[in-house]
A and B are shown apart, each in its own frame.
Chain A
Amino acid sequence: MKRNRRLFGGGPQMTEASLQQGFSRRAFVINSFQTGVAALLAARMGYIAIGENERYRDLAESNRVQTRLIPPRRGWIVDRHGQPMAINRADVRVDLIPDFITDREKLLADLARILGLPPEAVQRIRDRLENDRGFQPVPVAEHLNAQQYNMLKVREPDLPGVSVLEGFARFYPEGAAVGHLLGYVGTPNRREYDAENQNPLLITPGYKVGKEGLERVMEPRLRGRPGQARVEVTARGQLVRQLQTLPDSPGAPLRITVDAGLQSFAARRLGEESGSCVVLDCTSGDILCMASMPAYDPNAFSDGISHPEWEMLSTDPRHPLINKTLNALYPPGSTFKPAVAMALMEAGVDPDETVNCPGGYQLGSRRFGCLGTHGPMNMHRAIAKSCNTYFYTMGRRIGIDRFSAMAKRLGLGQRFGELPVVSQSYGTIPDPAWKQRRYHQEWSQADTLNAAIGQGYVILNPLQLAVMAARIASGRDIQPRLIMEPHQPPALLPFAGPSFEAVRSGMDEVVNGNGTAGASRLPFPDIRMAGKTGTAQVRNIVDANRGRAGTAWRYRDHGLFVFFAPVGAPRYAGAVVIEHGLGGARAAAPVACDVMTYLFDKDRAMQRLLPLEAGWGGNVVERSARRAALWNDRAPGSPPPPPPVPL
């Protein structure tokens, strides 16, 4: 019995009856246990559903209801006459929410098929999905057409991670003509997001901030206030229904001083050249046009441009990414002479005093050349003929300090602090103190001679030249303005009336008399344009070898022209700079002439522009499309095709 001995000794022997009795007792225990569990469950449920009902109801509500930001519509940018220059177009965009994607490759394949995405776009999305972490949406495509939109909308539930949003996209009707002026918008980057204390608006899909130009500087004014949509969503972020919507308040429209028509005309008139054209209202300082060409198309930039597009723009020797009105600096050449002439008058030089021009000026053993052998020159004729010898002689007589001070007073080398632009390169108006500071060298007489004809250390941007022309034309302290808002009329400059008159009549002679720009007279009997040509050396070469037509494009001289009109009662003033245009009279003055013509007679100006454009091979859009096609067709790895060289 050892093997089968009882586990627990004692107690009576078990019988059928006692077992039966035990079963009933124990069944009662089990029954009670089950009842106990049921009671526990009932109590627990009561506690959750009644006791904590409020808390869990809130939690269910915050599960279900999501507040989404509605990106505010950006304020329009309109020109001085109210014509829209930057507007918002209804748009449909597609983004991917990385967290919700289940099968990435299948999804990308589906999207590529529905949207017709090229392989490099798919690869870009894949890279961003791999590298970007977290909830930040990855943009896929914008500007969907109706068919793509419908196909995606129908399939959206089967494509987890795809978000199709109806919103607004920025549109610039004038395209590249306003590229540098207005800038463009783009998806905020990490730095911008952090700079605004991680404002959730900035990571809302489809929201864009100003990246360049006025869009960037005027961002706070253009932005507006976001709206809010309370929507019911599923755990996967799918929209169930809209609950209530607080509409966004759009940004205020921004009226700028620019004349959209003039801006567009100037950009077109610059044609294939690399250059800029600035026109001011010389009674108020309003910038009527500030064109820099070639330029990027801000519409393409606002959508996010592709790598090949970027490469094409950044390797173009004509620098379409640089705003040449503000950020390119040129030696002004002879366009500097009106400023020197002003200084001569203020220094008491008699405008009728003549200087004989034998074709140059001898300083010690060095000879400083003139473009002609002009004979006896007074101030009026010296301006008209752009005689260097006169300005060498007279500039040296009054000294560098006097005419550099005058140049600064006329706006040259100055930064215009009130101007809402991203950056200004303001260049140099040299004087002895500056040279000592910069190069630790003594100022020499040769430096004075060079400066007197706008060469040597003098470098300026085109806007400054336009301001100089405007101040000479109006006699007022013109400050360039871009935003239409109430302002004080500019004060008079503290210079004598005859000084202005002498310089203005010299500039009148340049165009309308026996001067350097006689070919660029305005085609009106009663309206005259005054101006001053300039030709700036790119390379310091001896006279005979200056950058003439035979040399490579990038070594050719810049052509410059400053102007104002009408001569009797100046209203407009400006400057045109054509890079490597060979000469001011040849390249820049005709542009200025046509732009001024536009201001007085649009039809006549267009009649002159159209044949020119036909000769260049179409309008701006057609030409840039052809250039892009040429770029894309080049063999991989080969150097970029040479840009068409203007002659």
Chain B
Amino acid sequence: MALAFVPRSISFLPWKALLIVCSIASIGAVGLYSTSPGGGGGMMPYALPHVMRFSIFLVMALAMSYVKPERYSEFVFVAYAGVILMLFATMVIGEVGGGARSWLNLKLIRIQPSELMKPVLVIVLARFYASVPPREILRWSAIWPAAIMVGFPTLIILAQPDLGTAMLIACCTIVMMFLAGLSIWLFLGGFLLIAAAMPIVFSFLLMPHQRDRVLIFLNPESDPLGAGYHLTQSKIAIGSGGLFGKGFLNGTQASGDFLPEPHTDFIFAAIAEEWGLVGGLVLILLFAMLLRWGMRVSRDARSRFEKLAAAGMTATIFFYASINLLMVMGLAPVVGIPLPLVSYGGSAMLTVMLCLGVLMSIDRNTRKNARR
């Protein structure tokens, strides 16, 4: 199947996954080109750094794919401890961005440790559940160590306060616990409990601005110029695009500054305005293909650790993308979560590329073993 003249090291690369992420990032670059402030489009200040950053992370992910999955398992607790330390450091000397003290300035690079925590926790959980003997899986001992390992950093992140990231981690954890084989009743019971607790959480635990966001999500037209403005303008951008869009560089919602944050959280709306339903569906389809590839890597993986890790990484990407897309289409409250690989900004891209690196490592391992 491989062409004879292509070296094996090249043909052995996971071309399908690489093609998908490159396509997604390219669409992102096109979108960022046209959201360049001042109208008329431009490589600066968004598109070019986006492409360069993606290239660097792609090399990083490829490098990660040559590391054996077991290595991630071995070193995960070191990484876990390191990220926890960074989280603490962030609490003390962190910088505020987007309303949360979540940025750590390490001179060379400014990062959000909470982003690093997502793939690290996936591997921690995968390693933990791989080590739990099958007969123990329905017992308490299969829950509380994981709960502590996840709960501790999640609480720190909640205190930043970064509700979006904390929710994302919680969702991934639930998916991994579900796949690990915990009793189905636990999830059904938990679901009912959360449904019952919703009103209480809403009226007592949420801060006023969070409560407003939920209320405005339920009825965005109630506040067309305030917090509902984001949602309304996003829907106007998507809706006015129609089937084929207004055409490249012809979007008026983004270039006229009506659409807030067109280069980060609302990039999808900006793209949909110019490329229409067709462009939006292509992007959704590409994400679906990436996730499908990730779940297939998980399915085909040999070890339980690899299966769980691959599924967890895929779930992280899934929640990232889907929460953003649900938000810009008015199906979820406005939480500050960007569209990975498309939005401008390094954090989400780094997380997704770390996940991709681990996924490719597992994929390589699986295929290498299959050839033997």
**Which chain A residues have a beta carbon within 8 Å of chain B's beta carbons?**
3-8, 11, 13-16, 18-20, 22-24, 26-27, 29-31, 34-35, 37-38, 40-42, 44-46, 48-50, 52-53, 55-57, 59-61, 63-64, 232-236, 240
Q: Does B277 contact A (CB under 8 A)?
A: yes
Closest Cβ–Cβ distance, residue B136 to chain A (whole Å):
7
B74 partner residues in chain A, CB cutoff 8 A:
none
Q: Does B85 contact A (CB under 8 A)?
A: no
Say which one of B16-24, B156-164, B201-209, B325-333 lies at the interface with A.
B325-333
A48-B329 in contact (CB<8A):
yes
Q: List 8 A-B contacts (CB under 8 A).
A: A14-B138, A14-B181, A19-B181, A34-B291, A49-B241, A53-B239, A59-B239, A63-B256
- Cα distance A19–B284 in the bound complex, in angstroms: 32
- Cα distance A31–B310 in the bound complex, in angstroms: 13
Interface centre among B183, B185, B241 (most CB of A within 10 A): B241
Contact among A7, A44, A232 for B140, CB-based, below 8 A: A7
- Cα distance A240–B285 in the bound complex, in angstroms: 35
- Cα distance A57–B237 in the bound complex, in angstroms: 8
Q: Does B175 contact A (CB under 8 A)?
A: yes
- Contact flag A45-B295 (CB < 8 Å), given A4-B141, A57-B240, A235-B257: no
Closest Cβ–Cβ distance, residue A66 to chain B (whole Å):
11
Q: Does B366 contact A (CB under 8 A)?
A: no
A49-B239 in contact (CB<8A):
yes
Contact among B181, B277, B326 for A50, CB-based, below 8 A: B277
A4-B280 in contact (CB<8A):
no
Contact among B134, B315, B329 for A15, CB-based, below 8 A: B134
CB-CB contacts below 8 Å: B245-290 with A: 252-253, 255-258, 272-273, 276-277, 280-281, 284-285, 287-288
Contact among B178, B235, B252, B330 for A63, CB-based, below 8 A: B252
**Which chain B residues have a beta carbon within 8 Å of chain A's beta carbons?**
39, 134-141, 143, 175, 178-179, 181, 183, 185-186, 233, 235-243, 252-253, 255-258, 272-273, 276-277, 280-281, 284-285, 287-288, 291-292, 295, 298-299, 304, 307, 311, 315, 318, 322, 325-326, 329-331
B330 partner residues in chain A, CB cutoff 8 A:
44, 48
A49-B277 in contact (CB<8A):
yes
- Contact flag A57-B239 (CB < 8 Å), given A13-B135, A38-B288, A235-B258: yes
Closest Cβ–Cβ distance, residue A339 to chain B (whole Å):
70
A64 partner residues in chain B, CB cutoff 8 A:
252, 256, 258
B280-A45 in contact (CB<8A):
yes
Q: Which residue on chain A has the smallest CB distance to residue B291?
A: A34
A4-B242 in contact (CB<8A):
no
B272-A19 in contact (CB<8A):
no
B256-A27 in contact (CB<8A):
no
B143 partner residues in chain A, CB cutoff 8 A:
7
A14-B135 in contact (CB<8A):
yes
Closest Cβ–Cβ distance, residue A99 to chain B (whole Å):
11
Contact among B178, B236, B284 for A42, CB-based, below 8 A: B284
- Contact flag A16-B39 (CB < 8 Å), given A49-B242, A235-B257: no
A26-B178 in contact (CB<8A):
yes
A41-B257 in contact (CB<8A):
no
- Contact flag A235-B256 (CB < 8 Å), given A23-B307, A42-B284, A48-B239: yes
- Cα distance A234–B277 in the bound complex, in angstroms: 24
Can you list the 7 inter-chain pairs with the closest CB atoms, starting with the nearest? A56-B239, A60-B240, A235-B257, A49-B277, A14-B134, A234-B256, A64-B252
B242-A50 in contact (CB<8A):
yes
Interface centre among A4, A7, A46 (most CB of B within 10 A): A7
Q: Is the interface of B mostly helix, strand, loop or mixed?
A: helix
B138-A8 in contact (CB<8A):
yes
A236-B240 in contact (CB<8A):
no
Contact among A19, A37, A55, A59 for B137, CB-based, below 8 A: A19
- Cα distance A222–B181 in the bound complex, in angstroms: 86
B236 partner residues in chain A, CB cutoff 8 A:
56, 59-60, 63
Interface centre among A19, A46, A55, A57 (most CB of B within 10 A): A19
A49-B256 in contact (CB<8A):
no
- Cα distance A3–B136 in the bound complex, in angstroms: 12
- Cα distance A53–B245 in the bound complex, in angstroms: 11
A41-B299 in contact (CB<8A):
no
- Cα distance A15–B276 in the bound complex, in angstroms: 51
Closest Cβ–Cβ distance, residue A618 to chain B (whole Å):
54
A7 partner residues in chain B, CB cutoff 8 A:
138-140, 143, 183, 186
Closest Cβ–Cβ distance, residue A532 to chain B (whole Å):
72
- Cα distance A302–B298 in the bound complex, in angstroms: 79
Closest Cβ–Cβ distance, residue B184 to chain A (whole Å):
9
- Cα distance A409–B315 in the bound complex, in angstroms: 102
A240-B295 in contact (CB<8A):
no
Q: Which residue on chain A has the smallest CB distance to residue B235?
A: A48
A23-B181 in contact (CB<8A):
yes
A45-B329 in contact (CB<8A):
yes
A55-B141 in contact (CB<8A):
no
- Contact flag A6-B178 (CB < 8 Å), given A41-B329, A233-B256, A236-B257: no
Closest Cβ–Cβ distance, residue B273 to chain A (whole Å):
8
B183-A52 in contact (CB<8A):
no
A34-B288 in contact (CB<8A):
yes
Contact among B140, B179, B233, B326 for A30, CB-based, below 8 A: B179
Interface centre among B136, B181, B186 (most CB of A within 10 A): B181
B183-A234 in contact (CB<8A):
no
B329-A60 in contact (CB<8A):
no
A35-B134 in contact (CB<8A):
no
- Cα distance A207–B280 in the bound complex, in angstroms: 47
A30-B284 in contact (CB<8A):
no
A60-B235 in contact (CB<8A):
no
A49-B298 in contact (CB<8A):
no
Q: Which residue on chain B has the smallest CB distance to residue A21?
A: B181
Contact among A16, A19, A35, A235 for B288, CB-based, below 8 A: A35
Interface centre among B185, B238, B240, B318 (most CB of A within 10 A): B240
A61 partner residues in chain B, CB cutoff 8 A:
240
- Cα distance A233–B330 in the bound complex, in angstroms: 26
- Contact flag A53-B291 (CB < 8 Å), given A7-B140, A30-B175, A59-B236: no
- Contact flag A31-B295 (CB < 8 Å), given A37-B322, A41-B322: yes
Contact among B233, B255, B295 for A27, CB-based, below 8 A: B295
Closest Cβ–Cβ distance, residue A483 to chain B (whole Å):
49
B329-A16 in contact (CB<8A):
no
Closest Cβ–Cβ distance, residue A29 to chain B (whole Å):
8
B238-A34 in contact (CB<8A):
no
- Contact flag A240-B39 (CB < 8 Å), given A4-B139, A26-B179: yes
